[in-house]
Structure formats: structure tokens, C-alpha cells
Amino acid sequence: MRKHSNSLHLTVFDFIDRIKTWKWGKAMILYPAIDLKDGACVRLYKGEMDQATVFNLDPTKQAQSFIDQGCNWLHLVDLNGAFAGKPVNAKPVEDILRTCNVPTQLGGGIRDIATIEHWLEHGLQRIILGTVAVENPPLVRAAAKLFPNHIAVGIDARNGKVATRGWAKETEVNATDLARQFEDVGVTAIIYTDINRDGAMTGPNVEATAALAHAVSIPVIASGGVSSINDLKALKDCGAPLNGAISGRALYDGEVGIADAIALLKAP
Ligand code: AMZ
């Protein structure tokens, strides 16, 4: 189990990151995505479970490889968990937390305080809440208050409308309206995914991401569609101070070199 003091220590770095972003508006984090399905590391096409490409049967090795290439954060998703509404791929997540000593965020199937507490005790730095942000916003507020700097909201949208429960459920909730609900409650980041771009290698939705980042003061992380270094450059130059970008397929396919991506994103 990872020591909790590590989380506190990293919180100071989070704070420094925020000041840097506020001051220079540019430094961004590359979050390599490790999406877990049936214990393996996969990428889906637009979130469809039956359109999965398996990239590594050993998620811990994949995570370590990202770290060895210079990544200093990991983005994990328990895909089965997002559909089931409870953790399913706990074992690979625990293995990664035990082995890999970089801050890690996890989403998928986390729907109550006990599960949040469990994962923070196991050394996760940041918990991503998606479905409950729509279905139970008071829970998000309570969690952000109980665990300051550890709660992120995942907003996954198709044509601007939020989808939940593994993206299988469409809602009429507007992504920006949802984000605004969590202003000033201590949410540390919003992870905005354009579902139609996710795993599609067609470029991120830069305009929607920038618009969201302008609409709220919570740091926004862009997700979905990154297919080239130019896409990352577009996010960096989008005019809004983004906290970072999540990339999956482009890193696995080698379309984006990790060292190049990190150098680009962290440059002032
Ligand atoms: O690809 C999918 N079908 C998918 C996915 N990647 N469904 C959910 N998720 C991710 C979200 C967020 O990080 O991007 O799961 C998390 C939300 O899970 P939940 O259980 O809180 O809605």
C-alpha cells in the first residue's frame, strides 16, 4: 500500500502546477491512458466495448513502460467497472499502485464514499467521478470536501450532452452546465472527453475543450482523439490554460512519441 503522505506531498506539486498554469498558462501534463477491460490494457473505439484493441495483457508492465519513457502521471480507467457501477479491475489497479511510483488517477465504477476512501488508502492520487456527477452531485460535493485535491469530475459528452454508465446512457445534461455545478466545491480537475473522438484518431475537440475551460475556473484535462503531436500543440495553443491531455491509442500506435509529447507540453 502506498503511503498517504505521498499524496499530501504531491498535493503541493498540484498546487505549484496550478500557479505555473495561472502564471504562464502553458505547462501541461501528458496523461497516458491505461484502460482496463477483463484485466488487460485496451483501447476502445468511441467507447464501444465490442470494439476493443488489446495493447498489453500486463497492465503493470504497460504502466512501467510509460513511466520509463518519462510520463509522470498515469490515467487509469476500469472499463468493466464503468458499466458494472462498481470496481471490477481492482487487481490490475492495485498491482500498478504497488509497483509504479507516480501519481495516478482512476475512473470507472466509483460511485460511493467508501470506494473513494478505499482507493485513496491504496495510494491513488485522484479519483474520477463520472456517472455520480450527473446522478448524485451532492456526493461529489461531499467527496471534494472530505478529500480536498483528490476528486476530479469526468465529463464525457456526445455532441455536447453528457453520457454516463459506460457511455451507454444518454442524458440531456449539457457538459458546461454540469461543470459549472462544481465550481467552488474543491474539485481538483475536470476531465472532458469528446466520446465521438475517443479512440478514433481524428483529432481532439479543441474548440469544445477550450470553451469548457473558459467557462469554469477548475483546471480542465482534454481527452479523446489525440492523433498527432500537432493535435497536442493545438490543445496547448487553444487559448485556455489546460491542465493536461490524455492520450491512449496515439501513444500505443507510436503516432505520438512520448518524449516529444512531454517536451512540447511542458515547455513554457
Ligand atoms: O469508454 C467507455 N465506454 C467509458 C470510459 N472510458 N465509459 C466510462 N469511461 C470512463 C470515463 C471516466 O473516466 O471517461 O470512466 C470514468 C467514469 O466512470 P463512472 O463509473 O464514474 O461513470
- Tens of pLDDT along 197-248? 999 999 999 999 999 999 999 999 999 999 999 999 999 999 999 999 999 9
Residue 11 has pLDDT above 70, yes or no: no
* Res 16: pLDDT: 60
3-state DSSP assignment of residue 186: coil
Pocket flag, ligand 1, residue 156 (CB < 6 Å): yes
Q: What is the mean pLDDT of residues 85-109?
A: 98
User: Does the model's pTM come out above 0.85?
Assistant: yes
Residue 176 has pLDDT above 70, yes or no: yes
Residue 104 has pLDDT above 70, yes or no: yes
pLDDT band at 4 (very low <50, low <70, confident <90, very high): very low
Pocket flag, ligand 1, residue 166 (CB < 6 Å): yes
Q: Give yes or no: 35 in active site.
A: yes
* Res 14: pLDDT: 60
Contacts 24+ apart (CB under 8 A), 167-175: 167/47, 167/82, 167/195, 168/83, 171/134, 173/134, 175/208, 175/212
| Residue nearest atom 18 of ligand 1, based on CA coordinates | 108
Q: Give yes or no: 58 in active site.
A: no
Q: How far is the CA of 135 from the centre of ligand 1 (A)?
A: 14
- How many beta carbons lie within 10 A of that of residue 135, not counting itself? 14
Which range (9-18, 47-56, 85-94, 179-188) has the least confidence?
A: 9-18
Give me the domains of the chain, ranges plus CATH numbers: 29-266 (3.20.20.70)
Pocket flag, ligand 1, residue 129 (CB < 6 Å): yes
pLDDT band at 268 (very low <50, low <70, confident <90, very high): confident
What's the whole-number average pLDDT of the chain?
A: 93
* Res 225: pLDDT: 95
* Res 243: pLDDT: 97
* Res 24: pLDDT: 47
* Res 25: pLDDT: 56
163-182 burial: b if 16+ Cβ within 10 Å, else e? bbbbbeeebebebbebbebb
Q: What is the mean pLDDT of residues 165-186?
A: 97
Q: How far is the CA of 119 from the centre of ligand 1 (A)?
A: 16
